[in-house]
Amino acid sequence: MEENGLGVSDRENGVLDHLKNKETWLRLVFMLLFGIVFQIVKSIVFLVAIVQFLFTLLTGKAHGRIKVLALGLATYLRETTEFLTFVTEQKPYPWADWPSEPEAGAEKTASKAPKTSVAKGTRTGKKSSAPGKPKKTGGDEKV
């Protein structure tokens, strides 16, 4: 029973070679480590979100330094996810630098996300009139 010229024993040898690969087993150790770290960082992100909410509730605006921390944590979670899911071989912090600077335009994109990610025919930032109500046309509308 051969497929594509490979015998069963050839395929079994290939699998055995993969099972004996030390780099793959080492990656499993790193994956377990980063999986634990990922869960801890998720909890920290939740705490940061609560602190940011309370800060916004009391002052009326989000705290800038907490935003920077949150952006770094979000980027770290993305990098960790990419490593865990084999998207990249690059290990996240502490084997790489902490993501201190946002990627090109990431912060600007994040602040404009509601406007740019809205599907056509939904909220566009302009006020629309409901059926039976006249459309407001004052200079106080934000664009």
pLDDT 10s digits, 77-134: 999 999 999 999 999 998 888 887 655 444 544 454 444 344 444 444 444 444 454 4
Domains of the chain: which residue ranges? Answer: 11-111
Name the pLDDT band for 71 (thresholds 50, 70, 90).
very high
Residue 124: predicted pLDDT: 43
Amino acid sitting at position 76: Y
Share of the chain above pLDDT 70, in %: 62
- Give the tokens for residue 97: 């630098």
- Two structure tokens written together for 84: 């865990």
Q: What is the pLDDT of residue 105?
A: 47
Instruction: Give DSSP secondary structure letters for 36-70.
Output: HHHHHHHHHHHHHHHHHHHHHHHHSS--HHHHHHH
Mean pLDDT (whole number) for 127-143: 49
pTM above threshold 0.75: no
